[in-house]
Amino acid sequence: MTLHPQSRTALAAAGAPIDPTYEWLVGHRANLDATSPANSGPPIALPVVADIDAGGVPARLYDPRYGRGAPVLVYVHGGGWCAGSLETVDGLCRRIAHRSGVAVLSIGYRLAPEHQWPAGLDDVETAIAWLRASAETHGIDATRLAIAGDSSGGNLAAVVARRARDRGEPFAFQALVYPATDAVDGTPAGDPDEGTGLTNGRMAHYWNWYLPEGADRKDPDVSPAHAESLEGLPPALVITAEYDVLREEGERYAVAMAEAGVPVVLARYQGLVHGFARELANFDGARAAADQIAGAVREALDPPR
């Protein structure tokens, strides 16, 4: 294997994969929040960082222009739909806002298994509807919108982007970081990736916690890869990690969008593992990925004149 040395260090610190239980999940959530500041590094100062109520959904607004009409990137955190929070992507959202000059609205959606699908999806769309209606009062410009997310958040971002297209309210851009795109064919049996972070077994647990019993796993609001048509989706940046069980399904989705005529940039980060993008202090690739997202979002929403 050609794991990056930083991946080896992170995997050694994480310890051996375990069979997830609900008790483990509760501790995992707390641990993610507690370790995020160290994993993200010193927070980047911005003119506005404000926790807000986005139509009843917790959210955090990062505005590098201090109310002077910045376009907006909506960000949806990962964590298997069951963990993660505004805190776990705080450093990433700060860096994207700082490097792009674009405001970022990070959304704290409800988590499974307490709140199964479509609760999280509903929360993201509720927050976006609030943003479209209320952006002017916060000095940001909701006529120029992009959406992004990592892992399960990438799944939600992809679903929301397609649904917005269908409503005639398309986003200008989407950035999907190692997204989960296929609940049917994306989690093969066995664990060939044991020892490289997220395993197929753990991913299967996340899907099972997220989806109610009997849910149609081919529903495109669950598995964006099974949408009837990908034509007309917003231009996309898709980032994957070489040693990640979600790499193949993320890359297949990028190829499928490109074949449907969607402008797509696909970037595989070599030697890295799932979850690297939010650990800015631990992975050189995390800072590169944040800056790649920032540059793409700036070009899509606020290109040089």
The catalytic site residues sit at 151, 244, 274
Sequence-separated (6 or more) residues with CB below 8 Å from residue 10: 197, 273, 276, 279, 282, 283
Residue 39 exposure: Cα atoms within 13 Å on the Cβ side: 22
- Using CA atoms, how far apart are residues 226 and 205, in angstroms rounded to an integer? 21
Say what the alpha-carbon torsion angle 245, 251, 256, 260 is, to the nearest 10 degrees: 150
From 68, 84, 67, select the one nearest 76 (Cα to Cα): 84
Cα–Cα distances in Å, from 201 out to 94, 204, 220? 32, 5, 23
Tell me the two tokens of residue 297: 């979002």
Rounded Cα–Cα distance for residues 112 and 202 (Å): 14
Q: Where does the chain show beta strands of DSSP type E?
A: 48-54, 57-63, 70-76, 103-107, 140-150, 173-177, 236-243, 264-273
| The residue count for the chain | 305
* Joined tokens for residue 251: 């890359």
121 torsion bin: left (phi>0), alpha (psi -120 to 50), beta (else): alpha
* Separation of alpha carbons 190 and 40, rounded Å: 32
The rounded distance, in Å, linking the Cα atoms of 47 and 87 is 18
